[in-house]
Amino acid sequence: MVEDMKGKIRVFCRIRPMNRSEAAQGGATVVAKLDDYSINVATPRGSREFQFDRVFSAEATQEDLFHDTNRLIQSVIDGYNVCIFAYGQTGSGKTFTMVGDKDQKNPGLMPRSFNTIFNVLQENSPKFYFKVSAYMLELYNDRLQDLLVSQGGEAQAQTHLHGQAKRVEIKRNRKGVVFAQGAETKQASSAQELYALFQQACANRHISATKMNVESSRSHLIVGIMVESRNLTNGNVCTGKLSLVDLAGSERAAKTGAKDHQLKEANSINKSLSALGDVISALSAELPHVPYRNSKLTQVMQDSLGGNAKTLMIVNISPSECNLDETITSLIYATRVKAITNNAQRNVESKEIAQLKEVIMKLKSGQTVDEGDV
């Protein structure tokens, strides 16, 4: 059974508060929220207005933001693929929005969504059987690293022993849903367990980013949460996926995009973000060919951009005059994303299909199957 839901990608805009260094530079505030759906940016050449599905001012709390994404997260449990990603220059508030502040006094979308998933599952627990699992990846310089596999200690010894770490590859299933082949997928039975996995992933991320502080703003964090639910009354099985992406800082990509081809090649560190820009341009212009294959990032996000997912982009911006150029670039980029149409399909399988799949799985792993299974 497939339920189609054609829809535009939704785009929220969040303005962060002015920070100390901006205030010290004497930068004026150039961004103003006009109403819940529009902002005004004062530029030297006059003011520009931008419209979004929702605008959050510097005063907006993490709760305010989460309030408007809650329903989207719930639809994962109904069998939809959902992607939420944060875009913006370094320091614009992407990690604050997605993860929260360092001491988690103001948790962001990721930890809040873990709670929502398990709260909804709890409410439905008498009627459904649920399985929640997750993979967590970091993409740096077009290399995927599995954050659920520790880089130190035993795992590293193992890796050295066998020469190469297990390769993670991005694949798509028949319904076009992206999955990370070779990535460690761990099950979680509570929001706390899922959060513990996430903390483990963040710790692993830190190790790889010790060389240079800026590296963390040049890598993308990708969290995939799969929710499988079996209706105990009719046996139907729903499978939904929630992708949460904290993108690398967009500033260099923006500059690259403005320049010629050579610069783009030299600037391989930002290859993935410029590839994302190319995909967004192709989709918003409805070109017949969309260059998803040009980077790992666009492969990871293939189902979320122009594909089978309900997608929300959060564009994070600074309010200050000193970041005006990057802010305008981000807002133009986000405006293009708004024009992209996705076709979200609910993934539901009948009891019979789900049983057959189980039989095939058993056979593949060399187990015997008795007649009762078929």
**How many residues interact with ligand ADP (rule CB under 6 A)?**
15
Q: In whole angstroms, how close is the CB of 21 to ligand ADP at the nearest point?
A: 10
Reading the block at residue 29, the tokens are 């505030």
Report the distance separating Cα 254 and Cα 273, nearest Å.
Answer: 9
| Backbone phi and psi for residue 313, each to the nearest 5 degrees, phi listed first | -105, 135
CA distances from 308 to 72, 240, 302, 335, 339 (A): 14, 11, 9, 21, 16
Name the nearest CA neighbour of 5 among 350, 347, 353.
Answer: 347
Which does residue 307 touch among ligand ADP, Mg ion, none (CB within 5 to 8 A, set by kind)? none
Which does residue 96 touch among Mg ion, ligand ADP, none (CB within 5 to 8 A, set by kind)? ligand ADP
**Residue in this structure with the two tokens 């992933």, named with its chain if needed:** 201
Which does residue 302 touch among ligand ADP, Mg ion, none (CB within 5 to 8 A, set by kind)? none
Decide whether 95 or 323 has the Cβ nearer to ligand ADP.
95
Do 38 and 50 contact (CB within 8 A), yes or no?
Answer: yes
Which does residue 91 touch among Mg ion, ligand ADP, none (CB within 5 to 8 A, set by kind)? ligand ADP
Phi-psi region of 306 (alpha: psi -120 to 50; beta: other; left: phi over 0): left
Residues 41-100, interacting with Mg ion (CB under 5 A): 94-95
Q: In whole angstroms, how close is the CB of 77 to ligand ADP at the nearest point?
A: 28
Decide whether 63 or 352 has the Cβ nearer to ligand ADP.
63
Long-range contacts formed by 350-358: CB under 8 A, 24+ apart: 350/1, 350/235, 350/236, 351/234, 351/235, 351/236, 351/237, 352/235, 353/237, 354/230, 354/235, 354/236, 354/237, 355/235
Which does residue 93 touch among ligand ADP, Mg ion, none (CB within 5 to 8 A, set by kind)? ligand ADP
**How many residues interact with Mg ion (rule CB under 5 A)?**
2
Using CB under 6 A, which of 96, 130, 140, 333 touches ligand ADP?
96
Residues contacting 161, CB < 8 A, separation 6+: none
Q: Which residues pair with 81 in a beta bridge?
A: 241
Q: Is 94 in the site for ligand ADP (CB under 6 A)?
A: yes
Helices (DSSP H) in 149-226: which residue ranges? 153-161, 191-208
Q: Is 33 in the site for ligand ADP (CB under 6 A)?
A: no
Q: Is 316 in the site for ligand ADP (CB under 6 A)?
A: yes
* Residue 77: its H or E element: helix 70-77
Decide whether 19 or 294 has the Cβ nearer to ligand ADP.
19
Decide whether 90 or 151 has the Cβ nearer to Mg ion.
90
**Contact map string, positions 156 to 195, toward ligand ADP, x by CB under 6 A:** ----------------------------------------
Contact region for ligand ADP (CB under 6 A) — 94-102, 145-153, 200-208, 359-367?
A: 94-102
Q: Is 112 in the site for ligand ADP (CB under 6 A)?
A: no
CA distances from 247 to 255, 300, 305 (A): 17, 12, 14
Which does residue 342 touch among Mg ion, ligand ADP, none (CB within 5 to 8 A, set by kind)? none
**Contact map string, positions 246 to 275, toward ligand ADP, x by CB under 6 A:** ---x--------------------------
Report the distance separating Cα 202 and Cα 191, nearest Å.
Answer: 16
Which does residue 100 touch among Mg ion, ligand ADP, none (CB within 5 to 8 A, set by kind)? none
15 three-state secondary structure: strand
What is the sign of the dihedral through the CA atoms of 25, 26, 27 and 29? positive
Residues that bind ligand ADP (CB under 6 A): 16-17, 19, 88, 90-96, 101, 217, 249, 316
Residues that bind Mg ion (CB under 5 A): 94-95
